């Protein structure tokens, strides 16, 4: 709970719900007749509407990117380190828009919403949505807000994929595309991890083929396992060693511990939790399973698996960018093994081949994939510097 609001916080924020009646035709061919999007905005839109920045959420990110909902909140929004007055995405100058995507579980239409055709909740019948569908729905949100061109569209991981799609589908509506910890498409290894996560959920006896709410239950164990697997891929080996490796009486130097801190100070010689890392993963999984919807999680992982903008261009990503008219900033993080720097560089190479204006930074960071969410000083500095230029360009 914040006892007082930090000066560089956007403060207490209230989400808004936007309703859309125009049917959205999905990539799969299915149609969502009408839908809601939950949105938060920070800062003020200027008179010529040139200072708007869209934040595209990652897998578990929702509309609550910055600030607090109330003084009793334990934590601020998921990207509070980056968004606020005087922060890299400076709300003194920019009008920042953040949303919960379709298929999510934080208020936008998703598997937990009522299907108007059946009068009951969608559950497993909610159509598979893709990054392209999300970006189309975000474009309608932009129309509603009166924003024709975003000063910047910014996102990390799955959010970065939405940024990429924006630059391809709506070239005239993006000035700057900023992609963090991103890959042009998932590798077999990435998809494999997602499939383990999905199998954990669907294999939970409480899943009931996705209709668990009818049974008054949720597949808690499955969701927890899914998150545990995911979480391992978000952290780096070095981050885990650091987090769970203290010097002890027996092990004089923390660097020799390799992150093997014991939970109870000694081995149990049983099959219960022995190490801190196990207990941490249990905690993360449990917390996630209490707040996230299992059907939504399945949808999000599918959106990741399906993402491949090169698919319409003979597998040549550079051709996908042919019409893109924005400037690009890409950032990778040295210990990210989910989307390692080489994967981000594939996008940079495609952009260079397409003759686009691109900057690329490879940030030394121990935190793995999660680094894009954390206040790594050099990364924060680069974001500040880059967005300062954007600020000057749009004169806000």
Q: Which is nearer to another protein, 130 or 332 (CB)?
A: 332
Dihedral angle over CA of 353, 174, 100, 283, nearest 10: 50
Per CB under 8 A, does 316 bind another protein? Answer: no
CA-to-CA dists, residue 363 to 176, 178, 332, 348, 381, angstroms? 20, 15, 6, 15, 11
CB of 357 to another protein, least distance (A): 5
CA 361 to CA 91: how far, in whole Å?
24
The 8-class DSSP code of residue 57 comes to P
Identify which of 81, 56, 249 has the alpha carbon closest to the alpha carbon of residue 156: 56
Q: Which tokens in the block code for residue 244? A: 């769970």
Per CB under 8 A, does 378 bind another protein? Answer: yes
Residues marked as catalytic: 157, 336, 369
Q: Which is nearer to another protein, 327 or 343 (CB)?
A: 327
Among 327, 338, 343, 369, the residue binding another protein under the rule CB under 8 A is 327
Q: Which is nearer to another protein, 243 or 391 (CB)?
A: 391
Per CB under 8 A, does 342 bind another protein? Answer: no
Residues 73 and 64 sit within 8 Å (Cβ to Cβ): no
CB of 328 to another protein, least distance (A): 9
Identify which of 164, 247, 236, 234 has the alpha carbon closest to the alpha carbon of residue 197: 234
Among 23, 375, 389, 395, the residue binding another protein under the rule CB under 8 A is 389
Among 11, 302, 382, 391, the residue binding another protein under the rule CB under 8 A is 382
HSE-CB at 58 with a 13 A cutoff on CA atoms is 18
Length of the chain: 396
Q: Which is nearer to another protein, 125 or 362 (CB)?
A: 362
Per CB under 8 A, does 388 bind another protein? Answer: yes
Q: Burial code of 117-134, b = ≥16 C-beta within 10 A, e = fewer?
A: eeeebbbbebbbbbbbbb
**In the range 175-204, which residues lie near another protein by CB under 8 A?**
none
The 8-class DSSP code of residue 27 comes to T
CB of 346 to another protein, least distance (A): 9
- Which one of 118-126, 160-168, 233-241, 343-351 is the stretch in contact with another protein (CB under 8 A)? 343-351
Among 18, 362, 374, 380, the residue binding another protein under the rule CB under 8 A is 362
Per CB under 8 A, does 34 bind another protein? Answer: no
Residues 59 and 160 sit within 8 Å (Cβ to Cβ): no
Strand (E) or helix (H) holding 89 = strand 89-90
Residues 293 and 148 sit within 8 Å (Cβ to Cβ): no
The 8-class DSSP code of residue 32 comes to E
CB of 285 to another protein, least distance (A): 35
Among 352, 374, 380, 391, the residue binding another protein under the rule CB under 8 A is 352
CB of 381 to another protein, least distance (A): 6
CA 394 to CA 151: how far, in whole Å?
7
Q: DSSP of 113-132, one letter per residue? A: SBPTTTSSB-GGGSPPP-HH
CA-to-CA dists, residue 157 to 98, 210, 284, 316, angstroms? 15, 26, 19, 21
- Which one of 9-17, 144-152, 206-214, 384-392 is the stretch in contact with another protein (CB under 8 A)? 384-392
The 8-class DSSP code of residue 150 comes to B
Q: Which is nearer to another protein, 228 or 317 (CB)?
A: 317
Q: Which is nearer to another protein, 19 or 353 (CB)?
A: 353
Per CB under 8 A, does 380 bind another protein? Answer: no
Q: Which is nearer to another protein, 279 or 384 (CB)?
A: 384
Per CB under 8 A, does 360 bind another protein? Answer: yes
Identify which of 147, 141, 207 has the alpha carbon closest to the alpha carbon of residue 172: 147
Per CB under 8 A, does 33 bind another protein? Answer: no
Q: Which is nearer to another protein, 100 or 167 (CB)?
A: 167
CB of 385 to another protein, least distance (A): 4
Per CB under 8 A, does 5 bind another protein? Answer: no
Among 349, 374, 380, 391, the residue binding another protein under the rule CB under 8 A is 349
Using CB under 8 A as the criterion, which residues of the chain lie in contact with another protein when the complex forms?
327, 345, 348-349, 352-353, 355, 357-362, 378, 381-382, 385-386, 388-389
């Amino acid at each position: 709970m914040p006892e007082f609001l930090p000066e560089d916080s956007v403060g207490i924020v209230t989400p808004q719900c936007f309703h859309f009646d125009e049917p959205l035709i999905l990539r799969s061919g299915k149609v969502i007749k009408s839908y809601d999007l939950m949105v938060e905005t920070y800062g003020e839109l200027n008179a010529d509407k040139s200072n708007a920045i869209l934040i595209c959420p990652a897998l578990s990110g929702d509309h609550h990117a910055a600030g607090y909902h109330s003084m009793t909140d334990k934590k601020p929004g998921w990207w509070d380190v980056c968004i606020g007055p005087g922060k890299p995405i400076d709300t003194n100058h920019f009008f920042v828009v953040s949303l919960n995507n379709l298929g999510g579980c934080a208020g936008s239409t998703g598997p937990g919403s009522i299907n108007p055709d059946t009068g009951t909740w969608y559950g497993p019948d909610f159509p598979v949505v893709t990054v392209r569908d999300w970006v189309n729905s975000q474009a309608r949100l932009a129309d509603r807000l009166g924003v024709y061109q975003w000063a910047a569209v910014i996102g990390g991981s799955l959010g970065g994929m939405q940024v990429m799609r924006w630059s391809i589908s709506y070239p005239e509506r993006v000035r700057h595309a900023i992609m963090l910890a991103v890959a042009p498409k998932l590798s077999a290894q990435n998809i494999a991890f997602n499939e383990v996560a999905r199998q954990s959920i669907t294999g939970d006896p409480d899943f009931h083929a996705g209709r668990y709410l009818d049974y008054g239950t949720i597949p808690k164990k499955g969701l927890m396992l899914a998150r545990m697997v995911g979480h391992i891929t978000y952290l780096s080996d070095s981050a885990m060693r650091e987090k769970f490796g203290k010097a002890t009486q027996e092990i004089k130097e923390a660097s020799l511990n390799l992150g093997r801190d014991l939970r109870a100070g000694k081995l149990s010689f049983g099959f219960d939790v022995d190490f801190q890392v196990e207990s941490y993963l249990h905690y993360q999984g449990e917390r996630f399973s209490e707040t996230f919807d299992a059907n939504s999680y399945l949808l999000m992982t599918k959106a990741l698996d399906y993402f491949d903008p090169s698919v319409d261009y003979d597998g040549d990503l550079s051709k996908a960018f042919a019409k893109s008219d924005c400037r690009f900033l890409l950032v990778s993080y040295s210990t990210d093994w989910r989307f390692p720097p080489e994967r981000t560089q594939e996008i940079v190479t495609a952009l260079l081949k397409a003759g686009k204006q691109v900057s690329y930074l490879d940030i030394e960071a121990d935190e793995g994939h999660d680094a894009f969410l954390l206040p790594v000083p050099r990364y924060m500095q680069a974001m500040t510097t880059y967005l300062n230029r954007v600020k000057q360009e749009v004169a806000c």
